[in-house]
Amino acid sequence: METAPNAETLKRWAAEHIALELGLLCECPYHGEPYRTQRETAAHSSYCAFATHDPLLAIFRGDAGELLAAVETVAEHYGRDCPTCERARAEPE
């Protein structure tokens, strides 16, 4: 029997989803792994446009500031390249 994800897991998932929606993260077309884009300052202005209508905001009990902080933290966790592509480039042929 599977257990429900805890609140922190849900918040991380929501933050990653929003970071992808805002273009702060993108997915590798080959591996599907997220990596950071060049759009670092877009989070606040972009998210404020739809924050009050986003159902993911409920995970943060309506606190858009907490969600935006989580989005920025999640985005900073990733590098500028897909980790699988990066490892493949580093391996000797």
Domain of residue 38, CATH code: 1.10.10
Residue 63 lies in a domain: yes
Burial (CB count within 10 angstroms: exposed 0-12, middle 13-18, buried 19+), residue 46: middle
Q: Is the pLDDT of residue 93 over 70?
A: no
Interval 6-32: pLDDT, tens:
889 999 999 898 888 888 889 999 999
Domain that holds residue 12: 7-90
Per-residue confidence band for 41, with pLDDT thresholds at 50, 70 and 90: low
Residue 27 lies in a domain: yes
Residue 52 lies in a domain: yes
Helices 7-22, 64-77: inter-axial angle, 10-degree rounding:
80
Contacts of residue 91, defined as CB under 8 A and 6 or more positions apart, other chains included, come to none
Residue 2 lies in a domain: no
Kindly state the percentage of the chain with pLDDT values over 70. 82
State the total domains in the chain.
Answer: 1
Strands (E), 5-52: 25-27, 34-36
Residue 80 lies in a domain: yes
- Distance, in Å, from the CA atom of 80 to the CA atom of 63, rounded to the nearest integer, reads 28
**For position 46, what pLDDT does the model report?**
60
Residue 1 lies in a domain: no
Name the residue with higher pLDDT: 43 or 39.
Answer: 39
Region 77-81: mean pLDDT is 89
